[in-house]
Amino acid sequence: MKSAKPLPAYLVQRYHGWKATSYQENRGWYRRLANEGQRPRAMVISCCDSRVHVTSIFGADQGEFFIHRNIANLVPPFEPDGDHHGTSATVEYAVNVLKVAHLIVLGHSQCGGVAGCIDMCKGNAPEMEAKESFVGRWMDILRPKYDLVADIDDSEAQARQLERHSVVISLENLMSFPFVASAVESGELSLHGLWTDIGEGGLECYDPAAQKFLPV
């Protein structure tokens, strides 16, 4: 592997700062985490977006959340076909090995993946339809929900709504995994759907009775 480069100096410097302060003050805890293994209470599936920091929002520290991040916080349907399924592997590990008690899907406003999905569904992004478009094929997971927002004229409102649907379809797909459904039914696992507004710092939670997201 000849292409790797040294770490940029600003990151080296910050790392040494962390090592001398946060690490030093919490050394006992980090060693216990290393020796005894992790025991997170919850798994969070959130977007890769650099503006979404689930640990900040919830004041979480090392050891609390098992976190998977992908484009648009999507979970594909259960497909045990022997291929590489990175997201399904994270869910399997969290539920079957770590036995987390909560599985939280966190969507967010201004999601680039969801915006691309809308462009694609409207016929404005033919390059995303190509077999070679990984983002396009990934956003196919959300596609079945586009019909539910197709009639919303305001494009901002439409995007916000499809972002919320990206959470709902992930929750629905999660229930297609037999081990998730069984853990939910036995009460060992509970599912939670959240959506956060980046600019306003808002947080909404999916309410199954109301069938919509309500402010927390």
Q: Which residue positions form the known binding site for Zn(2+)?
A: 47, 49, 108, 111
Q: Which is nearer to a second copy, 10 or 123 (CB)?
A: 10
Query: Kind of pairing, strands 212-215 and 202-207?
Result: antiparallel
Contacting a second copy within 97-116 (CB under 8 A): 97, 99-102, 104, 109-110, 112-113
Residue 140 lies near a second copy (rule: CB under 8 A): yes
Q: Which is nearer to a second copy, 39 or 122 (CB)?
A: 39
Q: Which residue positions form the known binding site?
A: 47, 49, 108, 111
Residue 119 lies near a second copy (rule: CB under 8 A): no
Amino acid at 186: S
Contacting a second copy within 23-82 (CB under 8 A): 23-41, 43, 48-53, 55-71, 74, 76, 80-82
Candidates 93, 119, 146, 152: give the one binding a second copy (CB under 8 A): 93
**Token reading at 23:** 């690490």
Smallest distance from the beta carbon of 46 to a second copy, in angstroms? 9
Q: At what angle do helices 112-121 and 155-174 cross, to 10 degrees?
A: 100
Contacting a second copy within 160-179 (CB under 8 A): 168, 171-172, 175
**Token reading at 54:** 């689930």
Query: Could you tell me if 104 and 170 are in contact, meaning their C-beta atoms sit under 8 angstroms apart?
Result: no
CA distances, 54 to each of 21, 68, 69, 85, 126 (Å): 23, 11, 10, 23, 33
The sign of the CA dihedral 176, 78, 150, 147 is negative
**CB contact burial 144-165 (16+ within 10 A = b; e otherwise):** ebbeebeeeeeeeebbbbbbbb
Size of the site for a second copy (CB under 8 A): 127
Residue 148 lies near a second copy (rule: CB under 8 A): no
Residue 153 lies near a second copy (rule: CB under 8 A): no
